[in-house]
Structure 1
Amino acid sequence: MNVIIVGPDRGLGAALDARGADVTRLEGAASGDRLREAGIESADLLVVTDVGEATAIPVALELNEGLKTVVYAADSVPEFVRGNLDLAVHPDVLPVEAVAEELTPDVE
């Protein structure tokens, strides 16, 4: 499973790595060009950990319609992004290990 994390890792990358996922971390502005460079067109999952970069979600979906999208952040997701999300998780509700397990049920 190919995963791109946009924003601070929050330990999620290591938890996904431990479950056998191939993780690419993208910090800073997640423009279409940067998402392409990170491999969004062949990614299975996009995880955004900084809602300030939530615009990456609709951009990524334009490049990869089958992409699963997740926000793992404490802040509220902008309204225009909510309809594009598969899952939103607050870090205080589920630890990274539980989130990684839910996101990669068939990996390991």
Structure 2
Amino acid sequence: MAGNTRIAVVAGPDEHGIGEELEALGATVSRIEGVVSAEALKAAGIADADYLVLTDADEATGIPVAKELNPSVTVVTYADRSLPEFVSGVADLAVDPALMRPDVVAEELTRDEGVADDA
């Protein structure tokens, strides 16, 4: 994927600016505000997305839906609260904004190797 533009769907309020950090590093970002439903994910371009960045743990039910629509999407939660147990194993990476700045997370996601390849 070296040299390719990363595509990210940011779902939920982006209080910490992870979407802006991804854009600053050249990623194409679409956003979902409100319920993270199959329709919202499709409209945001989940089928072609490299990443789903979920910023609201209350919308965690969208994670398995996103994985069903795009099994290769890397799901990153960047939220203050933990994910519910029923989806915690489906997310690829969970980051607490209090522990890691959004620019650091964005840089890791847009690296040639990417976080998912390190796991």
Instruction: Please report the TM-score for the alignment, with normalisation by the length of structure 1.
Output: 0.95
Structure 1: state its 5+ residue gaps. Answer: none
CA displacement 1:18-75 (0-9 Å, x = unmatched): 1100001111001101110111111110000000111110000000010100100110
Amino acid in the other structure paired with 1:83: G
CA distance in 1, matches of 2:85, 2:11: 19
CA distance in 2, matches of 1:69, 1:85: 5
Does 1:18 find its partner at 2:27?
Answer: no
Q: What's the offset of the Cα at 1:76?
A: 1.1
CA distance in 2, matches of 1:30, 1:100: 21
What is the number of residues matched between the two proteins? 107
Structure 2: state its 5+ residue gaps. Answer: 1-5, 114-119
CA distance in 2, matches of 1:57, 1:104: 20
- Residue number in structure 2 paired with 1:75: 81
1:1-108 correspondence runs (5 A):
1-9=6-14, 10-106=16-112
Instruction: Please report the TM-score for the alignment, with normalisation by the length of structure 2.
Output: 0.87
> Does 1 or 2 have the higher relative contact order (CA < 8 Å, sep 6+)?
1
